Amino acid sequence: MSSPADVITLSICIPTYNRARYLDQLLKTLVDDIPALEFSYEIVIGDNGSTDHTPEVVARHTGALNIRAYRNPRNIGPYENQRKIYQSAHGKYCLYLADDDLLLMEQINENIRTLENNPGVSAIYAPWVMYDRVRDETSSAFYQLDQDYLIQQNDHAAMMALLLTRHIFPEIYIARRECFPLLYFAYNDYAYWAFVHSAEILSRGAILFSATPYYRVVTQYFDDHVRVQAGTEEVKVSWDRYRGGLEYLFNKFNSSLTPEQKTQWFDAINQFIRIRMNVALRIRTFENTSPIDNYYVANRLRGLGDGQDLPVHYDFYRVNAALEYLNALDPFVNGATRFAYFRSRPLRILPLAQKFGELEFTALEDGQLPTEPTVIVTPHGDEPGRPVSNCHDHLVFTSELDLISMFP
C-alpha cells in the first residue's frame, strides 16, 4: 500500500537541542531503515536553538531523507518546541521520535494500515523496548499486553482500568494529526501529560493499545558516552504528577459512580502510585542521593501500607537521614564544624549509614575537649547529648539517639 506522491502519510517528529552526535547517528540509521516504510513520509526536525553543529547535521542528511527542519532563534523549552513540530507537520499521522531513540518500521507499517482501515481509531499506543545499541541487546518491553485492546471513544473507564491493571504509561503512540490541536503541551507539576493527552484523544475517537512495540528507547548509544535518561530522572520524583494525571482521567467518568465505586477506583489509583513510589525509592536508594528526602518517601510508603515492601529496611532510611542531618545541614554550629566521639564510647548506629566513611570523625580520649568548633556525638544507649558546661560554647554535644529521633 502506498500514498500519492503529493500526500504525506506519516510525519516523524524529532525535537532536538545540542545533540548533534546523536541526531547524526539517528539520521544515518533512518537512511538505512526508511526504505522499509511502505508509506510516504516526512521527517520534521525542530532545532530548539542548538549551539552545536546540529544545522550541519540536518543539512548533510537532507538529500537522502525527506526532511523539513526549522530552527528556533532561542531555546523555547521542550514542550513548546514539541507543540510547534506537531503544528507544522503535514502528515495524516504523526509520531514522536526522540533524537536518541530508534523505530521498528515493520510494526509502523502495520499500525498505519490499521489506522487506514479503521477511521474511527484516533491513535495507536504501544509499549516500547529498551535497546543497548553498543551491545546490540534488546530487553523486554516497558509494559506487557497479552493482546491488543480497543477502547471505544469516550469509554474513559475502560481505558482507566486497562492503564491501572496493566500498569501502562501511555507515552508512545501514533495519532491522527487532527488530534494534536486538542492537546496542551506545557509542563505542570499537577497532572502527568501522558494520562491527560490520552484522555483527550479518547474524547475524539477510539484508541487501540497494541501489544507489539514499534519504538526502541536506546539505553546506551555510544561506548564512550553515558547520558542521563530523562525518563529515569522523572521516575524518581513524579509520583504525585502521575496521580494528578490519573485523577484527570478519572474525572472524565466519575460523576456517574456511586460512593462505593469511587472508593474502589481510588484504591486502584493508590496501588498504582504505591508501585511507582517504590520504584522511585529503589532507584534513589541505589544512588544514595538526598537521604532525608528518601526517608520521607519511605515514610509515605509506610503510611500507605507498604512498609514491608520497601527496597531495604525502614531503619536504613532513618540512619542515613540522621547522618545527612548531622553533616550536610550543619544545624549545630555556624561555620566550619568538626565531628568527634570518645574512643571509649564508640558510635553504634551512624557507622551503618552509607556515607559514614566520608564524614571525618575525630576519636577523643576521655576528658579531651577540642578547641575548635566541634560536634561531639555520644553512642546510642549512652546519656542523651547535652552541653557539659556553658563555658564551652564552641562545643555541641548530641547523641545518636537525638539524631535518629529526628526521623521516627
Residue whose cell numbers read 489506522: 115
**CB contact set of 269 (below 8 Å; sequence gap of 6+):** 164, 243, 246, 247, 250
- Whole-angstrom distance, CA of residue 92 vs CA of residue 34: 17
pLDDT per residue as tens digits for the range 248-270: 999 999 999 999 999 999 999 99
pLDDT per residue as tens digits for the range 23-61: 999 999 999 999 999 999 999 999 999 999 999 999 999
Report which of 130, 93, 96 is spatially closest to residue 15, judged by C-alpha positions.
96
Is 80 exceeded by the pLDDT of residue 380?
A: yes
The DSSP line for 306-372 is -GGGSSS-HHHHHHHHHHHHHHTS--SSSSS-EEEEETTS--SSGGGSTTGGGS-EEEEPTT---SS
Residue 33, classified by CB atoms within 10 Å of its CB into exposed (0-12), middle (13-18) or buried (19+), is middle
pLDDT per residue as tens digits for the range 326-352: 887 665 656 667 899 999 999 999 999
pLDDT per residue as tens digits for the range 273-284: 999 999 999 999
Predicted confidence at residue 391, as pLDDT, reads: 45
Q: At how many degrees (to 10) do helices 259-287 and 291-303 cross?
A: 150
Question: Checking DSSP bridges between strand 149-151 and strand 206-209, what pairing results, if any?
Answer: antiparallel
Average pLDDT in the 291-320 region?
Answer: 91
- What ranges do the domains of the chain cover? 1-100, 231-319, 326-405
State the pLDDT confidence band at 3, using cuts at 50, 70 and 90: very low
Predicted confidence at residue 164, as pLDDT, reads: 98
H or E stretch covering 374: strand 374-378
- Whole-angstrom distance, CA of residue 214 vs CA of residue 111: 9
Report which of 161, 235, 240, 241 is spatially closest to residue 202, judged by C-alpha positions.
161
Portion of the chain with pLDDT greater than 90, in percent: 74
Q: Please, are residues 239 and 273 in contact by the beta-carbon 8 Å criterion?
A: yes
What architecture (CATH level 2) is domain 1-100?
A: Alpha-Beta Complex (3.90)
Model pTM score: 0.87
Q: Please, are residues 403 and 350 in contact by the beta-carbon 8 Å criterion?
A: yes
Q: Residue type for 164, please?
A: L
C-alpha cell at 369: 575537649
